[in-house]
């Protein structure tokens, strides 16, 4: 199992628009990716505009498939105007 923590920095005045686009993407992930076991958007309690996505995938192939979907690519394009910087993506190995 593979873990991901994605840190996303969003323009403070655009957080509502960002959340709407992200939650639409998350719904598509849940509907289409049985190998994606967790795809949970969270936001910092202390830093405005800072979000973290907690993700778990059954395998590296499932993670690659996620990044290759049309709706993931379209979501990235749709979020672009709301972002305040490049995403930071950390990849992790689950310990079981």
Q: Which residues bind a second copy (CB under 8 A)?
A: 1, 3, 5, 19, 22-23, 38, 40-45, 51-52, 54, 56, 90-96
Residue 59 to residue 36: CA distance in whole angstroms? 9
Least separation in angstroms between residue 40's CB and a second copy is: 6
Residue 57 to residue 2: CA distance in whole angstroms? 5
Tell me which H or E stretch contains 21.
helix 15-32
Least separation in angstroms between residue 44's CB and a second copy is: 6
Least separation in angstroms between residue 3's CB and a second copy is: 4
């Amino acid at each position: 199992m593979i873990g991901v923590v994605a840190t996303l920095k969003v323009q403070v005045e655009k957080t509502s628009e960002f959340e709407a686009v992200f939650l639409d993407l998350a719904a598509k992930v849940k509907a289409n990716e049985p190998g994606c076991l967790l795809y949970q958007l969270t936001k910092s309690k202390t830093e405005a505009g800072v979000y973290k996505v907690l993700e778990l995938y059954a395998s590296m192939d499932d993670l690659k498939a996620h990044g290759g979907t049309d709706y993931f690519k379209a979501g990235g394009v749709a979020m672009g105007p709301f972002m305040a910087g490049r995403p930071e993506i950390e990849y992790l190995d689950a310990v079981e």
